[in-house]
């Protein structure tokens, strides 16, 4: 029975994909979209069913579909595991997925390739489900690479523009760098524990450790640490952490629903999911945890600073996503997995809402993304505005919206563990508040700065677009309740997966309340600055060429892309050109050299063959003498 349901869960989006690929074009104007939405909705229903079930029974469901392949001493099954963690992820993947599909029906309604778009979206959902539900690392890897592929396809959806294709390619390759890390990590784990199943790895590690003496134990653990580090590199690629984050802002080239679904709510959190899944491994490797925490903190602050000055509405959101992901990794590095998961969920709500809101804006402005050419949209788009405001408040950490709870938990954890990281995280949060409200003010307030033509066409988006916005805004507003400080449903729910917490829940004391107050004040300060700058003074960010100093550096993202180009892409291309033009010719010449030498010998030998019979006779006689002397050599001497 479980098998049927799980197949339904997995195959519904896949069927949607296949149907859309083959028949999508014939399915009427919005047929493809509704079909895709329905497919995801089926998955959502199945998920909901299991979610309710596990809330009651608290026993995970595991199904083994078939044996995939084996290597070394490891046999890999196509196994599906529905436990608390994966069901939680499934809930918001399919839930938000359904909403975004619905949104896309309207958003993409006049694109000629929309059936492809929905096919890709469905494929993405399928791979995401596989990623989340797989019961071993390799099945997760299928999903891991699969979502990367869908991300590639969707970023480059408007394939006629080669810049978009470049962005898609960049995303795929950056992800693949991480994937190599993931592979190496898997290899190490498979080598050490002879299994890749999540359920068996901890036992195998324990068993191995019990067999080993003290010095070998250290060695074993350091090997596992390397595995953890390698996996983390994989997570860096997928979840856009330093140094592999540069693809995510570029990925905004894709249609906005894609940015909302893949590059904000679901795929980019796969790294966090994986680390949470493998928490037992990371727990064994404190050094790696430190690395994760530091990388997360640095990413959050770097991305936040870049986000301060971006003018493209989606770019701001993209850097905000990177920054928020950094905060989640900070939490992961500190061992507070459930906190990270909490933030993933709230983030999914409000960031999806923000992206969809920005999509609504862009839709209304017919593709304009530059905030310098927006403004005063509040008047025309009230629903978009309100949902956007709620989400902005949520991401800025203003109570009682969801972001407040989750972000506050992260900062609190950081405060207890490491003060420096706490300060960095807090600064990043203040910046977040600033740039989100900068975005809000520039887009929805003051006067409209676009063309008359655009102004004429301004309108609130249709219901298919506003409905998901409203649902997400509600969730963004109240989502924090699932882990209310002191009485966290989420922590209890996840306890079977993540184990009993040694540091437990934060005891709500004076320090904690003080910290909350600090966080709120910080958020308000950020909002205040934005208010003063953009609403009070009515500033508009300068045009590209007028930027100076730090502003310019930030606007150009610290020139990281250029640095990568200079450090990696250029040298490797130069090497390639060198190989192609010089080394290939040289090698080829070397081989031809054999022929040439033979030819030359032949040419010289030809001269010997001068046709003179007299000469031939000479050689003949000399040869005869030589042969005779050779035959009787030992006799003569």
The reply on whether position 367 binds another protein by CB under 8 A is no
CA atoms of 143 and 127, how far apart (whole Å): 4
CA atoms of 591 and 600, how far apart (whole Å): 15
Q: Which is nearer to another protein, 532 or 628 (CB)?
A: 628
The reply on whether position 380 binds another protein by CB under 8 A is no
As to burial, measured by CB atoms within 10 angstroms (0-12 exposed, 13-18 middle, 19+ buried), residue 534 is: buried
The one among 11, 173, 209, 376 contacting another protein by CB under 8 A: 173
The reply on whether position 455 binds another protein by CB under 8 A is no
CA atoms of 177 and 86, how far apart (whole Å): 25
The reply on whether position 600 binds another protein by CB under 8 A is no
Angle formed by the axes of helices 84-107 and 270-277, nearest 10°: 170
The answer to whether 88 touches 115, Cβ cutoff 8 Å, is no
Q: Which is nearer to another protein, 21 or 45 (CB)?
A: 21
Q: Report in angstroms the alpha-carbon separations of 510 from 400, 438, 522.
A: 19, 33, 18
Q: Which is nearer to another protein, 286 or 589 (CB)?
A: 589
The one among 532, 572, 597, 601 contacting another protein by CB under 8 A: 572
Q: Which is nearer to another protein, 23 or 71 (CB)?
A: 71
Contact track, another protein, 607-626, x by CB under 8 A:
--xxxxxx-xxx--xx--x-
Q: How far is the CB of 355 from another protein (least distance, A)?
A: 25
Structure tokens at 259: 């940015």
The one among 7, 27, 48, 149 contacting another protein by CB under 8 A: 149
Q: How far is the CB of 571 from another protein (least distance, A)?
A: 10
3-class DSSP state for residue 182?
Answer: helix
Sort strands 61-71 and 487-488 into parallel, antiparallel or unpaired: unpaired
The reply on whether position 628 binds another protein by CB under 8 A is yes
Sort strands 483-484 and 487-488 into parallel, antiparallel or unpaired: antiparallel
Q: How far is the CB of 180 from another protein (least distance, A)?
A: 5
Q: How far is the CB of 159 from another protein (least distance, A)?
A: 4
What residues form DSSP beta bridges with 63? Answer: 80
Q: Which residues fall within 8 angstroms of residue 609, CB to CB, at 6 or more apart?
A: none
Q: Which is nearer to another protein, 484 or 618 (CB)?
A: 618
Q: How far is the CB of 112 from another protein (least distance, A)?
A: 9
Q: How far is the CB of 584 from another protein (least distance, A)?
A: 7
Q: Which is nearer to another protein, 21 or 458 (CB)?
A: 21
Q: Which is nearer to another protein, 162 or 511 (CB)?
A: 162
Contact track, another protein, 121-140, x by CB under 8 A:
-----------------x--
Measured from the Cβ of residue 545, the count of other Cβ atoms closer than 10 Å reads 6
The reply on whether position 190 binds another protein by CB under 8 A is yes
The one among 18, 45, 176, 312 contacting another protein by CB under 8 A: 176
The one among 71, 489, 513, 566 contacting another protein by CB under 8 A: 71
Q: How far is the CB of 226 from another protein (least distance, A)?
A: 8
The reply on whether position 192 binds another protein by CB under 8 A is no
Length reported for the chain:
637
The answer to whether 453 touches 329, Cβ cutoff 8 Å, is no
Q: Name the segment binding another protein (CB under 8 A); options: 169-177, 286-294, 409-417, 443-451.
A: 169-177
Count of positions on this chain that bind another protein (CB under 8 A): 70
3-class DSSP state for residue 127?
Answer: helix
Q: How far is the CB of 258 from another protein (least distance, A)?
A: 17
φ and ψ of 79, to 5 deg: -110, 145
CA atoms of 594 and 588, how far apart (whole Å): 10
The one among 55, 64, 216, 576 contacting another protein by CB under 8 A: 576
Give the dihedral sign, CA 611/616/619/624.
Answer: positive
What residues form DSSP beta bridges with 77? Answer: 67
CA atoms of 321 and 292, how far apart (whole Å): 17
| H or E, element range at 322 | helix 313-333
Structure tokens at 146: 């699969």
Q: How far is the CB of 429 from another protein (least distance, A)?
A: 35
Q: Which is nearer to another protein, 183 or 478 (CB)?
A: 183
3-class DSSP state for residue 266?
Answer: coil
Nearest to 331 by CA among 238, 405, 227, 248: 405
Structure tokens at 522: 């910080």
Q: Name the segment binding another protein (CB under 8 A); options: 3-11, 273-281, 410-418, 577-585.
A: 577-585
Residues numbered 9-38 forming contacts with another protein, rule: CB under 8 A? 21
CA atoms of 198 and 455, how far apart (whole Å): 55
The reply on whether position 558 binds another protein by CB under 8 A is no
The reply on whether position 169 binds another protein by CB under 8 A is yes
> Using CB under 8 A as the criterion, which residues of the chain lie in contact with another protein when the complex forms?
21, 66-72, 78, 138, 141-142, 144-146, 149, 152, 156, 159-160, 162, 165-166, 168-169, 172-173, 176-177, 179-180, 183-184, 187-188, 190-191, 572-573, 575-577, 579-580, 584, 587-588, 590-592, 595, 605-606, 609-614, 616-618, 621-622, 625, 628-629, 632, 635-636
């Amino acid at each position: 029975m479980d098998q049927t349901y799980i197949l339904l869960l997995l195959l519904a989006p896949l069927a949607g994909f296949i149907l859309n690929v083959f028949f999508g074009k014939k399915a009427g104007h919005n047929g493809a979209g509704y079909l895709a939405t329905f497919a995801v909705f089926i998955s959502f229903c199945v998920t909901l069913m299991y979610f309710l079930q596990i809330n009651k029974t608290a026993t995970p469901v595991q199904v083994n579909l078939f044996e995939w392949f084996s290597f070394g001493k490891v046999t890999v099954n196509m196994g599906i595991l529905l436990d608390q963690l994966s069901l939680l992820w499934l809930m918001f993947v399919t839930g938000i997925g359904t909403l975004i599909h619905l949104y896309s029906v309207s958003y993409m309604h006049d694109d000629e390739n929309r059936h492809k778009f929905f096919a890709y979206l469905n494929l993405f959902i399928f791979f995401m489900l596989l990623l989340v539900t797989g019961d071993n690392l390799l099945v997760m890897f299928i999903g891991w690479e699969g979502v990367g592929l869908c991300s590639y396809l969707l970023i480059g959806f408007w394939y006629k523009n080669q810049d978009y294709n470049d962005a898609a390619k960049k995303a795929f390759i950056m992800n693949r760098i991480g994937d190599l890390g993931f592979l190496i990590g898997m290899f190490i784990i498979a080598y050490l524990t002879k299994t890749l199943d999540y359920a068996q790895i901890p036992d195998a590690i324990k068993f191995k450790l019990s067999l080993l003496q003290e010095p070998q134990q250290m060695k074993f653990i350091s090997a596992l640490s390397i595995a953890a580090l390698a996996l983390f590199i994989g997570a860096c690629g997928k979840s856009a952490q330093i140094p592999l984050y540069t693809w995510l802002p570029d990925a905004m080239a894709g249609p906005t629903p894609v940015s909302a679904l893949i590059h904000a709510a679901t795929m980019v959190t796969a790294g966090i999911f994986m680390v949470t899944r493998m928490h037992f491994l990371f727990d064994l490797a404190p050094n790696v945890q430190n690395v994760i925490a530091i990388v997360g903190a640095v990413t959050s602050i770097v991305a936040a600073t870049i986000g301060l000055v971006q003018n493209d509405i989606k770019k701001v959101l993209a850097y905000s996503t990177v920054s928020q992901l950094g905060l989640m990794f900070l939490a992961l590095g500190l061992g507070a997995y459930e906190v990270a998961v909490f933030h993933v969920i709230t983030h999914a709500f409000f960031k999806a809402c923000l992206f969809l809101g920005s999509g609504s804006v862009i839709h209304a402005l017919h593709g304009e993304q530059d905030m310098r050419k927006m403004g005063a949209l509040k008047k025309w788009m009230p629903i978009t505005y309100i949902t956007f405001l709620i989400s902005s408040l949520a991401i800025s950490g203003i109570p009682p919206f969801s972001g407040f709870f989750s972000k506050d938990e992260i900062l609190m954890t950081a405060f207890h563990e490491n003060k420096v990281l706490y300060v960095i995280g807090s600064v990043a949060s203040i910046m977040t508040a600033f740039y989100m409200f900068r975005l809000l003010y520039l887009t929805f307030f003051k006067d409209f700065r676009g063309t008359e033509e655009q102004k004429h066409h301004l309108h609130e988006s249709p219901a298919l677009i506003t409905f998901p916005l409203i649902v997400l805004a509600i969730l963004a507003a109240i989502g924090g309740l699932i882990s209310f400080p002191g009485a966290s449903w989420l922590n209890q729910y996840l306890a079977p997966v993540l184990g009993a917490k040694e540091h437990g829940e934060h005891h709500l004391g004076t320090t904690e309340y003080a910290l909350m107050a600090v966080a709120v004040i910080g958020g308000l300060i950020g909002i205040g600055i934005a208010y003063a700058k953009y609403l009070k003074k009515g500033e508009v960010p300068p045009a590209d060429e007028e930027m100076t100093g730090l502003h310019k550096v930030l606007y150009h993202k610290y020139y990281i892309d250029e640095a990568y180009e200079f450090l990696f892409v250029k040298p490797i291309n130069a090497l390639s050109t060198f190989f192609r033009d010089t080394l290939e010719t040289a090698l080829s010449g070397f081989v031809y050299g054999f022929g040439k030498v033979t030819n030359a010998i032949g040419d010289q030998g030809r001269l010997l063959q001068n046709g003179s019979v007299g000469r031939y006779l000479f050689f003949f006689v000399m040869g005869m003498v030589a042969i005779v002397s050779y035959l009787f050599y030992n006799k003569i001497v």
